[in-house]
Amino acid sequence: MEPIQHQMMGYDRAITMFSPDGRLLQVEYAKKTVKLGNTAIGMVCKDGVLLVSDKRIVDRLVVLDAIEKIFQIDDHIMATASGIISDARVLVERAQLRAQQHRVTYDTPIDVLSIIKDLCNLKQMCTQSGGLRPFGVSLLIAGIKNGTGELYETDPTGIYNQYLATGIGEGESEIKEILYKEYKENMTLEEGLKVCVNALKKFLNTEFNEKRIDASFITIKDKKMEKVSREQIKKVLK
């Protein structure tokens, strides 16, 4: 059945209504929203994890340093998003609360997977409850566990997958094609940053500017999130 027929028959008007071919159309629309969002890349390297995101500056009067596309969840966990960033903020704040509650209760840092499952349970609930809409955002969540880096992607349906490297947002297919060719498991964070930044440069083409890049990493050694400086980004572009 064609999409226009689905709309005429009302199968996309309620989140709880399946179309005759077994689809939840509002959830599919939410996934399309992610495809229109800013491009973000995550990568697991031998010495840590890395997130790189396009700030997508739409107003030249905006204060660049005030645009935040990578969020700290705990010392050892960070996240970035593509889609409706206000939806992402709600999910990130929930994750931050869960991480702090875990530290207070158990006096240990929370697992990355525990954060993922909690967020995905909420996302899934919003695909089967009347009066709600799905979260129109995908998240990349990266962290350190037992001396190794972990990277997960969640989508609006509540599905999550673990990756070595992946991209989300507008440039997803182009970025993944580059990662398939250039990613290696023994890459350092510096080498990974170069691959990610150059991948964004290739995708954005004439619109590329190093000021658009927001990047952060967590090393296995320190387990602390650190932002990549503008000077470091300029260095890898040479």
**CA-wise closest residue to 29 among 47, 3, 56:** 3
In a domain, 13, yes or no: no
User: Using 50, 70 and 90 to split pLDDT, how confident is the model at 9?
Assistant: low
Task: Give per-residue pLDDT as tens, 139-157.
Answer: 999 999 999 999 999 999 9
Establish if 135 belongs to a structural domain: yes
At 64, the pLDDT band (50, 70, 90 cuts) reads: confident
- Is 169 among the domain residues? yes
| pLDDT tier at 90, thresholds 50, 70, 90 | very high
Cβ proximity of 200 and 66 under 8 Å: no
Residue 121 resides in a domain:
yes
Average pLDDT of every residue of the chain: 92
Per-residue model confidence (pLDDT) at position 13: 81
Which range, of 79-83, 91-95, 234-238, averages the lowest pLDDT? Answer: 234-238
Q: Is 80 a domain residue?
A: yes
Name residue 81's beta-bridge partners: 139
Alpha helices in the chain (DSSP H): 3-8, 25-35, 85-106, 112-125, 172-182, 189-204, 230-237
Q: pLDDT confidence of 8, banded at 50, 70, 90?
A: very low
CA 4 centroid distance within chain:
31
Sign of CA dihedral 171, 174, 180, 182: negative
Residue 6 has pLDDT above 70, yes or no: no
Asked if the structure places residue 10 within a domain, the reply is no
In a domain, residue 2? The reply is no
pTM: 0.93
Q: Is residue 75 situated within a structural domain? A: yes
Quote the CA–CA distance of 193 and 50 in Å, as a whole number: 7
Q: Can you tell me the mean pLDDT for 163-190?
A: 96
pLDDT tops 50 at residue 135: yes
Tally of domains in the chain: 1
Which DSSP letter does residue 64 get? Answer: G
CB 162 within 8 A of CB 150: yes
| pLDDT beyond 70 at 86 | yes
For residue 107, the enclosing domain spans 21-57+65-237
Provide the CATH number for the domain around residue 131: 3.60.20.10
